[in-house]
Amino acid sequence: MDKSESHEKMAAEMKQRLKVDELEENIDELEDVVEDVFPVLIVCVLVCVVLTLVFLLRMYIRYNVECPSNNRMDGKAVLITGGTSGLGKATALELAKRNARVLITGREKSKVEAVARAIRKKTGNQHVNALVLDLANIRSIREFAKDFVKEEKALHVLINNAAYMGPKAATDDGLERGFGVNFLGHFYLTHLLTDKLRKNAPSRIINVVSGSYADGELDLEDLALNKNFNVHKSYARSKLAQVIFNQEYHRRHISGCVWSFGVHPGCVKTELLRSYPGLLGNILRVFARFMFKSPEEGCQTIVYCAVADGLRDFSGKVFSNCKVMKVKDSLVKNRELAKELFKVSAQLCGFEDELAQNAPAHEEKQKDDEEKKKE
């Protein structure tokens, strides 16, 4: 081998060594970069996963169906409790657009009048009126119903919407406020207006309930909820009572062509959470702002049950997203519990004697209906 070939071989070996050394240096530099960037990459991935899950959860919670019925309500009268905000106000607006005579209630005269005035201006429907009603006061309900029956010519749809969710408090009659307002107040109002609804049959009652009814426990011996009170427990119990009442009312009055529907509107951004106490209340209020349905979205099933055709056979059912929702039979279809709830509620409202007089005929009608089904 001559010197030139030897020099070329040595040069090639040197270049190879340099390449290896350079590669090792690049690898070391890359490892350093990865060590510096890896935590940031992990954080970015986690953030993306969380945002994706929040987006999917929001889509699930806000899933909604628009009312498929275009029926108008010319000549129909609708009474809505709790109509100054949230679902009540949105429902009043939608039904006013369909030319219903809309009567909205609230505790503060000035506030309910302002809402009625705004709806009249927005829809051009001049038959939107404000009425004062305090569902936390039995006497107020009785006087309201007396005046309503006397002054109003008709009632075709009663929407029991008003609700309370908050710290433990009492009604004017000394009852636990959640039970008193959400259930008992509406129970008594419905009883007092039933004759009016019968005279305008076919008519409808819509009870705005909640999926939280499934968490409720109905202890008729502890209506003050002295045992382990908490906000959710109180609310769930009142909604369970409403769902039970919805079916019991159907059994008692379907023969008079008064149909009863429950509506679970889903999670809706309303003022219901305004009184929820503590840190959890603050978190729920913030969460509701961007995760829950708007009142306009949430009211669609209420409107559907108020205007749609072909719902007679679904009286007594609970609707969600304009379809019948399955309920927990073990809680809701206990007829003995329903009768006992009806009896205790009548006693609290002061018309148990009237209930006792009507009970035999009602029970006989139930027996006849059951025999016909068997045949």
pLDDT digits 0-9 by tens, 309-367: 999 999 999 999 999 999 887 778 788 999 999 999 999 998 876 665 555 444 545 54
pLDDT band at 25 (very low <50, low <70, confident <90, very high): low
Q: Is a pLDDT exceeding 70 seen at residue 31?
A: no
Joined together, the tokens standing for residue 360 give: 């035999």
Q: Is a pLDDT exceeding 50 seen at residue 368?
A: no
209 three-class SS: coil
235 is catalytic: yes
Could you report the per-residue pLDDT of 7-20, keeping only the tens digit for each?
A: 556 656 655 555 55
Quick one: how many helices (H) and strands (E) in the chain?
A: 13, 8
Helix, strand, coil percentages (3-state) for the chain, rounded to 5, are 60, 10, 30
Q: Cβ(311)–Cβ(259) under 8 Å?
A: yes
Q: Exposed/middle/buried for 21, CB within 10 Å: 0-12, 13-18, 19+? A: exposed
30 three-class SS: helix
Provide the pLDDT for residue 19: 56
Q: What's the rounded mean pLDDT across residues 270-279?
A: 84
361: amino acid identity, one letter: A
Looking at per-residue pLDDT, the higher value among 355 and 146 belongs to 146
Could you report the per-residue pLDDT of 105-122, keeping only the tens digit for each?
A: 999 999 999 999 999 999
Provide the pLDDT for residue 42: 79
pTM, entire model: 0.84
Provide the pLDDT for residue 239: 95
Q: Cβ(277)–Cβ(231) under 8 Å?
A: yes
Provide the pLDDT for residue 227: 83
Query: How far apart (Å, rounded) are the C-alpha atoms in residues 63 and 209?
Result: 18
Could you report the per-residue pLDDT of 347-359, keeping only the tens digit for each?
A: 999 887 666 555 5
Q: Provide the mean pLDDT of the chain.
A: 86
Quickly list DSSP for 45-69.
Answer: HHHHHHHHHHHHHHHHHT-------
Provide the pLDDT for residue 226: 81
Provide the pLDDT for residue 374: 41
Which residue out of 164, 188, 213, 235 is catalytically annotated?
Answer: 235
- How far from chain centre, in Å, is Cα 139? 27
Query: How far apart (Å, rounded) are the C-alpha atoms in residues 338 and 336?
Result: 5
Nearest to 215 by CA among 230, 237, 231: 237
- Residue where the block lists tokens 């010197």: 3
Strands (E) located in 73-209:
77-80, 101-106, 128-132, 157-160, 203-208
